[in-house]
Amino acid sequence: MKENENILNSSESYKAYMDSPYMSMKHDSYFHVYDYLFRKYKNKNITFVEVGILQGGSLFMWRKFFGPKARIIGIDLNEKAKKWSEYGFEIYIGSQSDEAFWQEIRHEIGPIDILLDDGGHTYDQQIITFESMIDNINDGGLLVVEDTHTSYMSGFGPKQFTFTNFCKEMLDNINQRFGGFNARYEEKRIWSMEVFESIIAFKVDRSLSNIKSTATENNGLSEDVHEYRYSDNVSIEIFKSLAKKFYYFKKYRILYSIFIKIQSHLATRNFKSKKFFGRN
Ligand SMILES: C[S@@+](CC[C@H](N)C(=O)[O-])C[C@H]1O[C@@H](n2cnc3c(N)ncnc32)[C@H](O)[C@@H]1O
């Protein structure tokens, strides 16, 4: 506990949180994540949006953390949150799971540097907020979703559509940008995704995420060397050389599928990392 306190006291966002005159509730593991993600935006002319602000405390925390130049916007379903506009915050009332609400306010809000989702934490709320607002995030900006542990709890939506399952699809779709693939869908709206305990952050950089990768080579000297990449799984190595030699197998579909099945069986049998799967 003492150790936790020392770690917390070294966090700038934690200090701002403790100094807030109104109530805010955050998990203690979040503060160093905020520091790490948000530090570079301090004392800048940025637009920061937080979804879920009813008690008001976090609005004051962000104002203190980012400084007076920041435009701080709060969104909540509860009408009562409107009162925070008296303190210089911009407040919008509506539901984050309502696409029409976002449609209505996204032009008024305009481009955003950081959107932090600390609303109701259901999968629909998290996913619809992401889908509705990701195109409003500036290049170099962030969309950060908090309390993603709800994906492992009941009462937040259907289990096949958890927020973390949505992120797993995103991970797959980011990798579809690889130049050798010709996928139906590539994720180009975000450049990267970073995972912390209970927080997932998406970084937006359109020029980087629109690169269709191609192989490059430098002009260094090259020797004729053997590629050892597959030599630690003999079955893959054998398969690769057989596949090259017997490429015409492909025409004989049944024969080829037997060949593939044998190869995949042998590759799995010799796969050393099996023990690192299924830890939970
Ligand atoms: C966890 S609290 C927010 C805490 C606050 N960010 C803080 O740090 O103290 C969740 C907030 O989300 C709001 N909320 C719940 N469902 C919502 C929805 N569908 N749309 C917008 N806000 C919602 C609630 O009214 C509540 O104020």
Q: Among the atoms of ligand 1, which is closest to the Cα of residue 96? A: 20
> What integer pLDDT is reported at residue 203 of this predicted model?
98
Name which of 97, 26, 94 is nearest 60 in CA terms.
26
Encoded amino acid at 106, one letter: R
How close is the Cα of 118 to the center of ligand 1, in Å? 6
Instruction: Give pLDDT tens digits for 81-107.
Output: 999 999 999 999 999 999 999 999 999
Q: CA Rg, the chain, in Å?
A: 25
Q: Where are the beta strands (DSSP E) in 110-209?
A: 112-117, 137-146, 192-196, 199-203
C-alpha distances out from residue 279 to 42, 199, 276, Å: 39, 21, 7
From 54, 80, 82, the mutation candidate for ligand 1 (largest count of ligand atoms within 8 A of CB) is 54
Which amino acid residue places its CA nearest to atom 22 of ligand 1? 76
How close is the Cα of 79 to the center of ligand 1, in Å? 12
- Taken as a whole, the chain contains a residue count of 280
> What pTM value is reported for the model?
0.91
187: Cβ below 6 Å to ligand 1?
no
Q: Among the atoms of ligand 1, which is closest to the Cα of residue 81? A: 27
Instruction: Give pLDDT tens digits for 13-68.
Output: 999 999 999 999 999 999 999 999 999 999 999 999 999 998 999 999 999 999 99
